[in-house]
Amino acid sequence: MARRQLRGILPMTFSRRLMLGALAATGACPAPLRAEAWPSRPLRLIVPFGTGGSADVAARFLAEPLAAQLGQPVIVENRPGGGAVIGTEAAAKASDGHTALVMSNTHTANETLQPRRPYVLLRDLAPVAAVNVAYHVLAVHPSLGIADTAGLIARAKAAPGTLDYASSGPGTPYHIAGAVFCAMAGIEMNHIPFKGSNEARTALLSGQVPVMFDAIPTMREQIAAGRVTGLGTTGPEPSPLLPGLPTIAATVPGFEASIWLGLMMPAGTPAPAIARLHDAVNSILTAAATRAGMARGGAQPMPMSVAAFDAFLRHDIERQGEWIRLARIEAG
């Protein structure tokens, strides 16, 4: 009996060994035994802002070299709305392992400004890579007849609450810059939010809203053409893209404002995928062509490790909270 059972088992075992041996010889393996390489499909970059803004420009700048590095297409998907909340929620809930969020200091500000958002940044998303940092320019419509930062402050103090400033939306870096500027300068201006930088910029150019903090590369052309007047830049040093224009800090000591960008993926994304995307981004950022291209756009690459980016995010959440309280910006 035992012998007959053994005879029944031996052919099956032998056949299984033959099958595995044949698969090994051809380089094939049953699906459960093979680890899937990442990425195995196109990578989606969700930009929770409109087209034409800094995050959109950076995402499209990265898409082609990332595709070359990863061997898969990279698709940029704009999902604006809700002060970046709509697109961020979509990214946080993605479960395909091939979705990343292009984020900025709007997100660290939202941790204070939007307490009812449907996600928590560092709980529902994982840091991947920092991308770059850029500074703004303070610009006014020529009809104001103001030539410098001191003149704007004097006008605002002479008629409190009569000047408006535009931004690309509540909680965006341009909104925070305007609110903190008002607080540090001791003036009062009214915030007029728009759905994106393009709409806010159009309002400035038409004179509908006479003051705005905006991206230096975009506004540089308008300043050169005389459509707006540049008053000062928000970095610690004058911008080489606007030679001769002083920093705002020269008039309001300690004032500084920037927009920085980074990448995150949904929490629970396998560590090898995060590491692969991080390494690909940092490889692009350290290339000489990238540094030159970003410099022309007024930005500086800021490659760092995943751990350093995590610490950077935690610090910026605290810093944004302090600025929001200083400027008395009300939470939504």
Q: pLDDT of 293-332, one tens digit each?
A: 999 888 999 999 999 999 999 999 999 999 999 999 987 6
pLDDT digits (tens, 9 = 90+) for 230-277: 999 999 999 999 998 999 999 999 999 999 999 999 999 999 999 999
Taking the CA atoms of residue 265, residue 268, residue 271 and residue 272 in that order, the dihedral angle to the nearest 10 degrees is: -80
How much is the average pLDDT of 160-187?
Answer: 94
Task: Please determine, for residue 17, whether its predicted confidence score (pLDDT) is greater than 60.
Answer: no
CA gap 215, 235 in Å, rounded:
12
* pLDDT at position 309: 98
Domain presence at residue 28: no
The fraction of the chain above a pLDDT of 70, given in percent, is 89
Q: How confident is the model at residue 75 (pLDDT cuts 50, 70, 90)?
A: very high
What are the φ/ψ torsions at residue 58 (nearest 5 degrees)? -65, -40
Examine the domain organization and report whether 301 and 277 are in the same domain: yes
Task: Please determine, for residue 195, whether its predicted confidence score (pLDDT) is greater than 70.
Answer: yes
CA gap 141, 230 in Å, rounded:
9
Domain presence at residue 18: no
Examine the domain organization and report whether 243 and 144 are in the same domain: yes
CA 60 to chain centre: 12
Pick from 282, 259, 239, 268: which is nearest to 97 by CA? Answer: 268
Examine the domain organization and report whether 165 and 237 are in the same domain: yes
Task: Please determine, for residue 104, whether its predicted confidence score (pLDDT) is greater than 80.
Answer: yes
Task: Please give the residue range of the domain that contains residue 63.
Answer: 43-133+259-327
Number of domain units in the chain: 2
Partners of 77 in the β-ladder: 46
Q: What is the mean pLDDT of the chain?
A: 89
Examine the domain organization and report whether 128 and 139 are in the same domain: no
Q: 33 vs 113, which has greater pLDDT?
A: 113
Q: 39: number of CA atoms within 13 Å, CB side?
A: 22
Task: Please determine, for residue 280, whether its predicted confidence score (pLDDT) is greater than 50.
Answer: yes
Q: 86: number of CA atoms within 13 Å, CB side?
A: 11
* pLDDT at position 332: 63
Task: Please determine, for residue 221, whether its predicted confidence score (pLDDT) is greater than 70.
Answer: yes
Question: pTM for the full model?
Answer: 0.82
CATH of the domain at 218: 3.40.190.10
How much is the average pLDDT of 283-294?
Answer: 95
Q: Are strands 211-215 and 164-167 parallel, antiparallel or unpaired?
A: parallel
Partners of 72 in the β-ladder: none
Examine the domain organization and report whether 147 and 83 are in the same domain: no
pLDDT digits (tens, 9 = 90+) for 117-163: 999 999 999 999 999 999 999 999 999 999 999 999 999 999 999 99
Examine the domain organization and report whether 108 and 190 are in the same domain: no
Domain presence at residue 35: no
Q: Which two tokens stand for residue 189?
A: 């201006």
CA gap 212, 257 in Å, rounded:
13
Q: How confident is the model at residue 35 (pLDDT cuts 50, 70, 90)?
A: very low
Domain presence at residue 27: no
Examine the domain organization and report whether 122 and 266 are in the same domain: yes
Examine the domain organization and report whether 115 and 197 are in the same domain: no
CATH of the domain at 302: 3.40.190.150
Examine the domain organization and report whether 219 and 165 are in the same domain: yes
Pick from 228, 233, 231: which is nearest to 142 by CA? Answer: 228
Partners of 101 in the β-ladder: 46, 264
Q: Are strands 125-140 and 258-266 parallel, antiparallel or unpaired?
A: antiparallel
Domain presence at residue 11: no
CA gap 256, 262 in Å, rounded:
20
CA gap 8, 110 in Å, rounded:
67
